Amino acid sequence: MTSSILPTYSRAPMRFVKGEGAWLIAEDGRRYLDLGAGIAVNVLGHAHPALVGALTHQAGELWHTSNLYHIPGQETLADRLVEETFADTVFFTNSGTEACELAVKMARKYWHEKGEERNEVVGFTGSFHGRSSAGIAAAGAEKLTKGFGPLLPGFIQIDFADHEAIQTAVTDKTAAVIIEPVQGEGGIVPVPDQCLKGLRDLCDETGALLIFDEVQCGVGRTGKLFAHEWAGIAPDIMMVAKGIGGGFPLGAVLATAEASAGMTAGSHGSTYGGNPLAMAVGKKVMEIVADEAFLADVRRKAGRLRQRLEGVVAGHPEVFESVRGSGLMLGLKCKAPNADVIAAGYAAEVLGVPAADNVVRILPPLNITDEEIDEAAVRLDRAAVAVEAAKAPA
């Protein structure tokens, strides 16, 4: 029988009905410590009073007008994003995928306006940029693209460790290079600062535009507002989503004046993008997260979480191999199947998120408390014990 919900997800058996900070409460009353945060979305946890206040206040004022008119909240949030980043201009979307669409269109339009035949986009193996035709073509992995051909042409992928291949691929024919500074779906793989700097140099030499996909690693996740700040360089175009809305659907493309020069009136649009509800929430998220004291606390907590996770890994060498990642974007590289570790976590009432390369992602709300971090380690330890017990010969 066909289910009334298109069965594109194999869902875990929990049914959550309420959230409080780093906790999710299921229909049956069980309380789970949420180390997934809706896949790096709920940066301030669930039902944060300031976000609830911003959303409910705006809900009583105005929901939607379309982009036929000026939207004051867009101007406020865009000004803030421009002030905090490399960017000169912002377009608001409803998701990361939509941000990818615009990033690619913007790069191609840039070269079109210059009268140059440059439309190839260089991406990287293991990457993820969303599920649209451009997103799956940019990432290239067979599990995303199989059966959906013909794919959008003009994309290639390279291993980011293969410097020679990158040198060969990125030429004065390349429109843009797209990369996640920390790969998320790919298994929490930080791209070394030196590589990001090298890409910046190569793009400067060839003129190719550099696109950073910070949909997962941005908005405070690594302890800086945006992950690329650690490398001391900036992109020409940046995709943002997930954390920026704290759980409300919101994405954005940030760009320099130069890179965005082709995007004139009528060249792109969105019915819902930048609607007043999303703007009210995004503005409040930025007020809280784009604050040096808040980010310093994320870095401090990240140290604590990493230390606790190292302890869990050391205690269960049959289950785990290592901890990797940056800030509160961490991955447990597993020896046991990551699905087993995640399922054991459900039994121990702690939520992780699977990723490629047999990794369990640990992406807690950025305002998780020290006590909750310690509790997370206790529960993950319990899960690891259960995985060991299941593996042990009877």
Ligand X SMILES: *Cc1c(COP(=O)(O)O)cnc(C)c1O
E strands, the chain, where? 16-20, 23-26, 31-34, 89-93, 120-124, 155-158, 174-179, 182-183, 189-190, 209-213, 237-240, 251-255, 320-326, 329-334, 350-351, 353-355, 359-362
From 75-83, 213-221, 297-305, 306-314, span contacting ligand X (CB under 6 A): 213-221
From 27-35, 63-71, 90-98, 163-171, span contacting ligand X (CB under 6 A): 90-98
Q: In the complex, what is the shortest distance from the CB of residue 130 to ligand X, in angstroms, rounded to a whole number?
A: 4
Question: Quick check: 184 binds ligand X (CB under 6 A)?
Answer: yes
Q: In the complex, what is the shortest distance from the CB of residue 171 to ligand X, in angstroms, rounded to a whole number?
A: 25
Among 34, 120, 180, 236, which residue interacts with ligand X (rule: CB under 6 A)?
Answer: 180
12-19 long-range contacts, Cβ below 8 Å, gap at least 24?
12/342, 12/343, 12/346, 13/346, 14/346, 18/46, 18/47, 19/45, 19/46, 19/47
Task: State how far the Cα of 191 lies from the Cα of 8, in Å rounded to an integer.
Answer: 30
Q: In the complex, what is the shortest distance from the CB of residue 338 to ligand X, in angstroms, rounded to a whole number?
A: 17
Question: Quick check: 186 binds ligand X (CB under 6 A)?
Answer: no
Q: Which of residues 229-248 bind ligand X (CB under 6 A)?
A: 241-242
- DSSP β-ladder status, 174-179 and 120-124: parallel
Task: State how far the Cα of 24 lies from the Cα of 117, in Å rounded to an integer.
Answer: 51
Question: Quick check: 216 binds ligand X (CB under 6 A)?
Answer: yes
Question: Quick check: 128 binds ligand X (CB under 6 A)?
Answer: yes
Q: In the complex, what is the shortest distance from the CB of residue 45 to ligand X, in angstroms, rounded to a whole number?
A: 19
Q: Give the residue with the Cβ less far from ligand X, 213 or 349.
A: 213
Question: Quick check: 101 binds ligand X (CB under 6 A)?
Answer: no
Amino acid at 304: R
Q: Give the residue with the Cβ less far from ligand X, 310 or 357.
A: 357
Q: Give the residue with the Cβ less far from ligand X, 239 or 286.
A: 239
Measure the CA dihedral 344/347/351/356, to 10°. Answer: 20
From 123-131, 152-160, 219-227, 378-386, span contacting ligand X (CB under 6 A): 123-131
Among 95, 119, 275, 338, which residue interacts with ligand X (rule: CB under 6 A)?
Answer: 95
Residue 230 φ then ψ, to 5°: -60, -35
- 91 contact partners, CB below 8 Å, separation of at least 6: 102, 252, 253, 255, 263, 268, 270, 273, 274
Q: What is the DSSP code (8-state) at residue 21? A: B
Among 102, 144, 215, 359, which residue interacts with ligand X (rule: CB under 6 A)?
Answer: 215
Question: Quick check: 213 binds ligand X (CB under 6 A)?
Answer: yes
Distance (Å) of CA 166 to CA 11, 163, 173, 226? 38, 5, 13, 24
Angle 309-315-316 (CA atoms, 0-180°, nearest 5)? Answer: 95
Q: In the complex, what is the shortest distance from the CB of residue 132 to ligand X, in angstroms, rounded to a whole number?
A: 8
Query: Which residue has 């290079």 as its token pair?
Result: 177
Question: Quick check: 326 binds ligand X (CB under 6 A)?
Answer: no
Among 130, 220, 247, 282, which residue interacts with ligand X (rule: CB under 6 A)?
Answer: 130
Among 46, 109, 129, 284, which residue interacts with ligand X (rule: CB under 6 A)?
Answer: 129
Among 58, 97, 119, 326, which residue interacts with ligand X (rule: CB under 6 A)?
Answer: 97
Question: Quick check: 361 binds ligand X (CB under 6 A)?
Answer: no
Alpha helices in 86-162, H assignment, sequence order = 96-113, 133-139, 142-145
Question: Quick check: 96 binds ligand X (CB under 6 A)?
Answer: yes
- Residues forming contacts to ligand X in the complex (CB under 6 A) are 95-97, 100, 128-130, 180, 184-185, 213, 215-216, 241-242
